[in-house]
Amino acid sequence: MDWLKILSAVALIGMMVLIFPGLKNATQNSKKGTAEDWMSFIKPMALVIIFVIALIVLSR
C-alpha cells in the first residue's frame, strides 16, 4: 500500500469524525416530513427512474 492511499484513508476518517457531530445535531433538530411532503418527493423520483429505465431499454 503506497503513501497516497494511506493518506487518503486518514483524511477520509478525519472528515467523518469532524462531520459526524454536526450531522447528528442536524438530524435531531430537523423538521419531520408529512405524508404530503414525501409524496411530492416520491412522484418526481419515480418519473426519473422510469425515464432512465426507458432510455436503457430503448438503447439496446
Higher-confidence residue of 9 and 33: namely: 9
19-35 pLDDT, tens digit per residue, is 999 999 999 998 888 99
CA 49, CA 55: separation in Å to the nearest integer? Answer: 10
Kindly tell me if the per-residue pLDDT of 1 is higher than 90.
no
Residues 6+ apart with CB under 8 A from 41: 33
Full 3-state SS string of the chain: CCHHHHHHHHHHHHHHHHHHHHHHHHHHCCCCCCHHHHHHHHHHHHHHHHHHHHHHHHCC
Q: Up-side HSE of residue 1: CA atoms within 13 Å toward CB?
A: 5
Q: How many domains does the chain have?
A: 1
For 35, the domain range is 3-58
